[in-house]
Structure formats: C-alpha cells, structure tokens
Amino acid sequence: MAESTNKKRVLITGGAGFLGSHLCDRYLSEGYEVICMDNLVTGSGDNIAHLFGHERFTFIEHDVTNFIYVSGALDLILHFASPASPIDYLEMPIQTLKVGSLGTHKALGLAKAKNARFLLASTSEVYGDPLIHPQAEDYWGNVNPIGDRGVYDEAKRFAEAMTMAYHRYHGVDTRIVRIFNTYGSRMRLHDGRALPTFMRQALNGNPLTVYGDGSQTRSFTYVDDLVEGVWRLSQSDFTDPVNIGNPQEITILEFAREIIELTGSDSEITFEELPKDDPKVRQPNIGRAREVLNWEPVFDRKEGLTKTLNYFKQKVLSQS
C-alpha cells in the first residue's frame, strides 16, 4: 500500500542545537516530516547525525537572518534558532540580536506565506532580574536593555512582540513558549551554562566555579519534560505566552554540591565575582501550563541528572 502523502511538515530552525535536535526526534516520532535548519554556529551535526538517512528528515544549512526558502507546504514552524548561553551571546552579541529580530521576522514571513502555525522559543530571560517571584506570564520583567546580557533578553522580548504583531495584524497562528533552564544530553561541554560546566569540572576533578556566593537560584528542567511541553503547546489553541519549566528551585551552591555528590568527585568549590545583571532568582509559575496544556514536569532533578550523567561522562572521555 502506498504511503500517504498527507504527512504534516514542520520546519525547526536551530534544529541542530541542544533543544532543536530533541524536537527533531519528537516530531519524527509523531509522524511529521521534519526539515531541520541550522547554520551550525552553536548547533552541531553530531546532534542530528543519527537522523541522516531517515526518509522524513531533511537538513538545510542556512542562516535564518537571510531570506528563508522552503519548497512545498508547511504546517508548523518551530523557531528555535539563537545562541542560548551567556558565553555564546556575549561572544556574538550582534548575531544574537539579528537572529531574534531579523531571523524571527523571516521565519514569521514564511509562516504567513505558507499559512503555517508558528511557535517561538522565548525564554525566562525576558523576566530579567525579576522583582516578582516566582515568575508568571503576566509579569513584564526587569531587564537592563544596555547591559551585556541585554542582547539576548531584548532579542527575545522583541521576538515576542514581533510574533504577537504578526498574530494580530496578519492573522498568523502563533504560539510562544518561555523556556526556563533546561538540561540533558547534547549540551556542549563548554557552553558556559551551570550544568555542563559543573559536570565537566567535576568529572575532570577540577574545582567547580560558583559565581557570587552561590545564593542565586535556578529551576532546572529535564529536556524530555521541556519537549513534551513544546509538543503540547504546538498542538493547542492557546496564543499567549506559556512558561515551561520545573518549579523545583535550588541555589547554585546547592546545585554544585549535588553535582559533586552525583559524580562521586572530590572537587572543591571556588567562588568568583558575580557577572553583572545575573538574575538573583529564577522559578517558573506553571499554573498556566497546568491549566491550558495539562502539563507539568514528571522528572525530578535527581532522576534527570542521573540520566544525563552518562552523556557527559562520554563527552569528557572523548575530549581527554
């Protein structure tokens, strides 16, 4: 029997990145034809190597700040292209601003032309160094637009504004997910975020670097939970922003100690000056996700970290 030609098609920008590659896996498993687009500046072909040869997977190397061409119909666009760690957007500030502005504009233009649903990957960083805790979607944030971190925060805030403008003015069917700290396999060892840094340092027996006194908090979400939240939002009819994150809050100092215990390392902890505008707290209010998507995380931090440890062991071993 001939295979149906009515498969749904999704374009995932940033599809070779940490989150994007997991989304490629998920949408393939749901029967979609997946077009992965990435310029490989922070993404890696290694993250999607297992998908090459899959009959419903196509990779296009392209910078989304330039005109995006995709032949044929599209049902859905997941716009995940962007540097997403401090070390990246501090080294590439203009590229970060361009992908959040020009890249979002180009992706939305494609969604309009193809009559496709559009889902923007936004971030908890739109809340900046928050004065409201935990952070709900109706909080407008406390961002320093001219600080070093502002290039990422404001790029995402602009992307949200552009998305809603296309929704209201052009009638594009849009979704916005605000992603809180997420971890799992396919993270880069040297991307500057707390988890890969701590894992790399602990597995190498080096001191773990904690900034400030370590009292700043984060809320870490296992990647499978994040992907489930994005999937549910993409299939929903809800157009306002939705937080996807794990409300389990922990200080960075406590988190460093957890990683040392998990890895069995004898590493010590060293302290360095806290970067400017580093958020003091971060915890999602996920009431909207529970109500609208019937979503909440199912992996607690210990389970997720245990599942992630083997990946980092292999990465450290391969680079030693």
The predicted-structure confidence for 182-206, as pLDDT tens digits, reads as follows 999 999 999 889 999 999 999 999 9
**Residue 147 pLDDT exceeds 70:** yes
More confident residue, 320 or 172: 172
Strand partners, 11: 35, 77
Q: Which residue has the tokens 């809320």?
A: 219
> How wide is the angle at C-alpha 60 spanned by C-alphas 54 and 65, nearest 5°?
150
295-301: average pLDDT: 97
The Cα–Cα gap between 240 and 253 comes to 34
Omega cis (within 30) before 284: no
Of all helices (H) and strands (E), which one includes residue 217? Answer: strand 217-219
The per-residue pLDDT for range 261-287, each reduced to its tens digit, is 999 999 999 999 998 889 999 999 999
Residue 9: half-sphere exposure toward Cβ, Cα within 13 Å: 18
Rounded to the nearest 10 degrees, how much is the dihedral formed by the CA atoms of 189, 193, 196, 198? 130
- The residue with greater pLDDT, 35 or 1, is 35
Buried b (16+ CB within 10 A) or exposed e, 218-256: bbbbbbbbbbbbbbbbbeeeeeebbbbbbbbbbbbbebb
pLDDT at 4: 41
Residue type, 250: I
Q: Average pLDDT in the 38-43 region?
A: 97
Percent of the chain scoring above 70 in pLDDT: 98
Q: Which pLDDT does position 3 carry in this prediction? A: 40
Distance from C-alpha of 282 to C-alpha of 127, rounded to nearest angstrom: 9
Q: Which residue has the tokens 């991307």?
A: 191
The mean predicted confidence, pLDDT, of the chain is 96
Query: Does pLDDT of 155 surpass 90?
Result: yes
How confident is the model over 70-127, as pLDDT tens digits? Answer: 999 999 999 999 999 888 988 999 999 999 999 999 999 999 999 999 999 999 999 9
Percent of the chain with pLDDT over 90: 92
Considering the entire predicted model, what is its pTM?
Answer: 0.96
Buried b (16+ CB within 10 A) or exposed e, 182-192: bbbbbbbeebe
Which amino acid, one-letter code, is at 164? Answer: M
Give catalytic residue positions.
152
Residue 142 exposed, middle or buried by CB count within 10 Å (0-12, 13-18, 19+): middle
End-to-end CA distance of the chain: 51
For residue 119, which phi and psi values (nearest 5 degrees)? -120, 120
The one-letter amino acid code at 155 reads A
- The whole-angstrom distance between residue 4's C-alpha and the CA centroid of its chain comes to 32
Q: What confidence score (pLDDT) does residue 2 get?
A: 35
- Please determine, for residue 34, whether its predicted confidence score (pLDDT) is greater than 50: yes
SS3 of 10, please? strand
- In the chain the domains, ranked by start, together with CATH numbers, are 9-319 (3.40.50.720)
Do the beta carbons of residue 152 and residue 92 sit within 8 Å? Answer: no
Q: What is the pLDDT of residue 320?
A: 64
Q: What is the mean pLDDT of residues 253-259?
A: 98
Confidence of residue 1 (pLDDT cuts 50, 70, 90): very low
Determine the pLDDT at residue 240: 98
The answer on pLDDT for 258 being more than 90 is yes
